[in-house]
Structure 1
């Protein structure tokens, strides 16, 4: 089995992925900087199962600190493949802190690519985002759409820049790359700032749910274990193929309007939502809608989890963390 570096391993998606890779017999090297965007304790809890596994090692480092920091933090052992999930996430915060997003997601990614080049690591799975599509009118979103003028937030711009960097390293140094555009991932361990997590808390506290816009905006919600399945299949594809440079959507292929989502959360929690309509937020898009045919063809990717089941699993997980 392979030796795989997972950046952002203590996060929502990263911790699930690390557990899955360990379960499949891989050796996992985890890297995280415990960015204070949310509580460090939550991320340490995410890592608990991995830290107990004999084939997992954890290293704390910040990609922004450069090559020397990476060399000092990471073992000299052979690494077959990197899954790069580490990033500063969130559209809204990126509008308020654009420099921080470019430093983390562009400069940090560049340092990682340079470290890979120097270590002669030839395979990369890069986590991009559906935000790169912006408010493009063509739906569902296909990977071959022209994205020259679609990014409407610094976060989106930083992710598209990351994709362009991975192509540069593919072209110059033969790096095998899968860029995967994630679509509104949710489920157990979801960040506290994300909508589903916030809405459940507000409902349980008897507080109104903020609705930005008229409630018709829609997202292609994808359950975290379906996303992890897609990543895992992408890892296997990279390990068994050379000369690879591909960009894929890992979504659910079904946009859910905001009002429908809120009603489904109300059903999962057992509370009737009170709505508080507010203006649209800067940088938000109207809809995300993944065309997943390419991922289906290349990886056999086929998300299995309905919104109802996924929300139920999230609420069950949250109950264990914070019993009512």
Structure 2
């Protein structure tokens, strides 16, 4: 079975590609390996994937029509697309909003137009985000909640991608499944995320920044649970032609609990500076995962304490060196 993984050099794309290859699949990966965070980490992920016989890699941007055309011509037998390519980061969207429209909106259109030309394609899975819930206050977040009040350009770009996917399903019958990820973490993770930044700072005896607020919390979701969720959706025979699922741990953890887990595993105390939470950041997230459970039977298995322990093991052995 042939898969296209857009964003194969990214955190989730890398782990998903490994899982698909381990199952005997053929994976076509594309990634522009941009410098939003260290390209060394992205390149190291790709080097891991290139050890598999049935992995092919294209260094290119999903908005580059020449790169897309080459993939269509050389791999017309693609059956599933996982579009995990994205410009990530909530706060960076204040600095460079154009990057989010280019990758998350134009990139989605590019993948959708590509999909129309693949005769054997069965379904597109695409990355969305818990950020689309924006200014909602009700917890847990459910797929039936309104998502028309984004609090950042990043969130708006992800909601735009969802709307485009719905339109292409309506117009052209492309079967699609959206994936609203909730704070994914773990080995080989993104170094711009809090758990990674905190680990680096604690090791270096530098202060970390925490936001003030009574309910500053996240639904931390371990990477292996995320991959199990994606595979369960891939294997499901009952998915509707179009749908969206929360992919979360369904467990609300205070960010201070994350810091405590890191301190325990690193053997060092954090120096903490408290600042006011910026308007772009949601105060709390929590996923309602009843929909994916009903569709596939999937439930997450990893507690935050166990996931952070595994992350720190990797970070101390390899992750920190990749970012020196």
Structure 2 match to 1:288: 285
Structure 1 match to 2:312: 315
Give distance in 2, aligned partners of 1:186 and 1:194.
8
Report the Cα offset of residue 281 of structure 1: 2.2
Report the Cα offset of residue 21 of structure 1: 0.5
Report the Cα offset of residue 77 of structure 1: 3.6
Report the Cα offset of residue 48 of structure 1: 2.5
Structure 1, residues 148-191: CA drift from partner, whole Å, max 9, x if none?
2x211011011111111111111111111111100000000111
Residue 135, structure 1, aligned to residue 135, structure 2:
yes
Residue 183, structure 1, aligned to residue 197, structure 2:
no
Give distance in 2, aligned partners of 1:182 and 1:11.
14
1:27-42 equivalences under 5 Å are: 27-42=26-41
Structure 2 match to 1:49: 48
Structure 1, residues 248-286: CA drift from partner, whole Å, max 9, x if none?
000000111122221121112111222101121241001
1:99-178 equivalences under 5 Å are: 99-120=98-119, 121-148=121-148, 150-178=149-177
Give distance in 2, aligned partners of 1:34 and 1:44.
7
Structure 1, residues 51-109: CA drift from partner, whole Å, max 9, x if none?
011111111111222x3331125523410010010000010001211111011100111
Q: Could you tell me the TM-score, scaled by structure 2's length?
A: 0.94
Q: Could you tell me the TM-score, scaled by structure 1's length?
A: 0.94
1:202-281 equivalences under 5 Å are: 202-214=201-213, 216-237=215-236, 240=237, 244-281=241-278
3-state SS of 2:161 partner? helix
CA spacing shift, 1:14–1:215, aligned 2, 3 Å = farther
Structure 1, residues 100-157: CA drift from partner, whole Å, max 9, x if none?
1011100111011101112233410011000000131221111011222x21101101
Judge which range, 3-12 or 121-130, deviates more: 121-130
Give distance in 2, aligned partners of 1:89 and 1:122.
27
Report the Cα offset of residue 215 of structure 1: 6.6
Structure 2 match to 1:71: 69
Structure 1, residues 224-259: CA drift from partner, whole Å, max 9, x if none?
11011111111222xx45752111000000111122
3-state SS of 1:172 partner? helix
Give distance in 2, aligned partners of 1:202 and 1:190.
16
Whether the 8 Å CA contact 1:220–1:251 is kept in 2: the answer is yes
3-state SS of 1:119 partner? coil
Judge which range, 213-222 or 179-188, deviates more: 213-222
CA spacing shift, 1:241–1:300, aligned 2, 3 Å = closer
Structure 1 match to 2:58: 59
Give distance in 1, aligned partners of 2:310 and 2:246.
24
Structure 1, residues 179-234: CA drift from partner, whole Å, max 9, x if none?
11000000001111110000011111111111122473111000011011111111
**Which sections of structure 2, spanning at least 5 residues, go unmatched?**
none
Give distance in 1, aligned partners of 2:83 and 2:192.
22
**Which sections of structure 1, spanning at least 5 residues, go unmatched?**
none
Give distance in 1, aligned partners of 2:298 and 2:238.
17
What is the RMSD computed on CA atoms of the aligned residues? Answer: 1.6
Give distance in 2, aligned partners of 1:38 and 1:136.
29
CA spacing shift, 1:87–1:302, aligned 2, 3 Å = same
